[in-house]
Every structure is written in structure tokens, then in C-alpha cells.
Amino acid sequence: MPKREGRYVIGLPNAPAVISWASAVGKTESEGPLADEFDVCYPTDKICDGSWEMCESKLSDTALENAFRKCGKSVDDADILFAGDLLNQCVASTFAARGTDIPYAGLFGACSTMALAAAMAALCVDSGAAKLAGACASSHFCSAERQFRFPLEYGGQRTPTAQRTVTGAGAMLIADSINDLPRITRVMIGRIRDQGITDANNMGAAMAPAAACTIIDFLRDTQTSPSDYDLILTGDLGKIGSELLRELMITREKTDISRVHNDCGLMIYDLDRQNVYSGGSGCGCSASVVCSHILKKLSRGELHRVLYVATGALMSPTTAQQGENIPAIAHAVEICKF
């Protein structure tokens, strides 16, 4: 049964296990440093015959299907699926979930969605509300570009602070298990931070304060320090956001996290070799990295305690055009392998 620790952290004494995970990615991700880690690498971003939106949906679908297949479970065994994406009305997730008949709870956390979904799924399993719960998130470069920025055909130029939306999806299945598996031991739902950033081409700067807030709250509530973790993994701050986060941690807490910090947006691409500016972003960024590389390393015992903190910029093109600030949030999930 979940138990509050301090002000914001929710401890999960049953430590539900991540019994399976899978990822599916597009072309640029398949050419990046984590290519060998993903379950499915599409050689193109045109993943199906349909629209970019349906291509993104197919990524979620593929990740989910593989997650079920890999643990020998059927979709009919699942009690609930938490999923979300960046598209208007979260249609990538809806159209993926439509094919499964799993009770479906749609989430919106922008790029923080995978952590939010994993947190809710773990909460449900720990509390007995679900025996088997799924969590899934996706994004697609082409569907995001035309929705948030410009149509691809326009060939808009990017600023050096811009990040590339990852074409990818990740899914994990969470259940009680006696097996030797990675376990979710604590979760934390973040608070919205708004530092007055309005530049939609500098999401890292908008999201770094939210990551700092969540990490600080988490460490305080659990009375731990960065050195207690093998990895503090942010979702998609990219190069600029990651630097800002490390600076914020030094300024606010006099804590240097650089030895244990990494960011999925920096891991999924080779920033020197690939033309991705400040790194990867999008719900699919941390979803695909966690549901491949990170969970594999945990399951092999190469990592023992990971604090996964995914950030999201909670704006829309409409609010950006209206000159509103970009509020941001970060949700945290502690994953351990004992």
C-alpha cells in the first residue's frame, strides 16, 4: 500500500516490478548511439502508410505489442493502461490503445508523460487497484514539427537551443513479481514551475527549473543525496537544459550532480555527428531510452538505483502565440534493482 514520505514523495512498499519493457524508434534514432538497444528500429520515419499521426500511433502500438510479447502476457491480462503523447487530444495513444481493449486512462504531461504513466501504473499495482498495469508514451518528429512549429515542407531554420523531437515510443508493464527484476520503489508527482520563459525554441531552459524543483524535493523527502543514486536521469533537457539544471543544483542546493546526472536527450543522439542541435526531446525520448538502455542496465545489475525525472513543457502553440509563459513540470520515478 502506498505510503507518503515527507511532503511530496509516495513510497511503494510492495515495490512493483517492471516485468517487461520495449521500445520502437525511427530513422535518426536508429542511427544514434543507442541503436542496438531498441527492440524495433524502423529505417524510415514513414512507419506506416497513414499520416504522420498514425505513424506515431504505430510506434506506441509496436512498443506495447513487444512489451506484452516479451513477457508472455496477453493484452487481455492487463487491467489498466496509462498513456499519452504530445499530439492534440493525445490521438497517437488513443489510436494505439483502441486496438488493445485495455481499460485506458489518457494522460497529458507533455514530455514528462512516461514518468507520469509509470508512476500511476506503479501506484495502481502497489495499491491493489491493478494486477498488471501498462505505461506508454510516444512522439514523432514529423507530427510534432507540423503541429508545434512549421510544416516540414517549409524547411524552417532552427536555433541552436532547439531540440529534435524523438521519433520513438516506449512501453513498460508493471506487476507484482517474485522474480529478479527492476522495481519501482518511489514515485513523485511534480508541481508546475513557471520562470517566465516564453521562447518555444528553448524548452530546456523552461524545463530545467521544474527538474531542479522535483529533484530537490525528492532528495529532501527521502533524506538521500545524489551520491545515493547510480544515475539521476532527466528526460529531455538536452544540452542547454542539462547545463542549467546542474547550475541550478549548485546555486540552490550547493550540490554538484554532474557525476551522476545524464539526460535521455543527450544519450539518444550523437550531438557532434547528428544534426540535432541541443539534443532530443518529446515524450518518446525518455520513453524509448528508459524502456531499452536503462531498464536493460538495471536488469543486468549494471545500475542499482536510478532516479528518473522526466520533464514536460505544458504549453500549446495557441498559448505560445498569445505570449503566455511556458509552465513546466517534472515527475519522478525511483527504479531499483536489489
Regarding 283 and contact with its own copies (CB under 8 A), the answer is: no
DSSP string, 200-257: TT-HHHHHHHHHHHHHHHHHHHHT--GGG-SEEEESS-HHHHHHHHHHHHHHHH----
Dihedrals phi, psi of 225, to nearest 5 degrees: -130, 165
Host H or E run for residue 281: strand 280-281
Interface with its own copies, residue 3, by CB under 8 A: yes
Q: Can residue 132 be called a binding residue for its own copies (CB under 8 A)?
A: no
171 near its own copies, judged by CB under 8 A: no
88, 159, 198, 251: which one contacts its own copies (CB under 8 A)?
88
157 touches its own copies (CB under 8 A): no
Binding residue count for its own copies, defined by CB under 8 A: 61
Q: Residue 102 or 219: which CB sits closer to its own copies?
A: 102
Which of 168, 114, 120, 111 is CA-nearest to residue 136? 114
Our finding on whether 31 is near its own copies (CB under 8 A) is no
116 binds its own copies (CB under 8 A): yes
Decide if residue 192 touches its own copies (CB under 8 A): yes
Q: Which residue stretch of 172-180, 251-259, 262-270, 315-323 sits at the interface with its own copies (rule: CB under 8 A)?
A: 315-323
- Separation between Cα atoms, residue 279 and residue 95, nearest integer Å: 28
Considering only residues 47 to 86 of the shown chain, the ones binding its own copies according to CB under 8 A are 50-51, 53-54, 79-80, 84, 86
Q: Does 264 bind its own copies (CB under 8 A)?
A: no
Beta bridge partners of 171: 22, 136
DSSP string, 10-60: EE-TT--EEEEEEEEE-HHHHTSTTGGG-SEE-SSS--SSS-HHHHHHHHH
By CB under 8 A, name the binding residues for its own copies.
1-4, 8, 10, 50-51, 53-54, 79-80, 84, 86-91, 94-95, 97-98, 101-110, 116, 120, 123-124, 126-131, 147, 188-192, 194, 314-319, 322, 324, 327, 329, 331
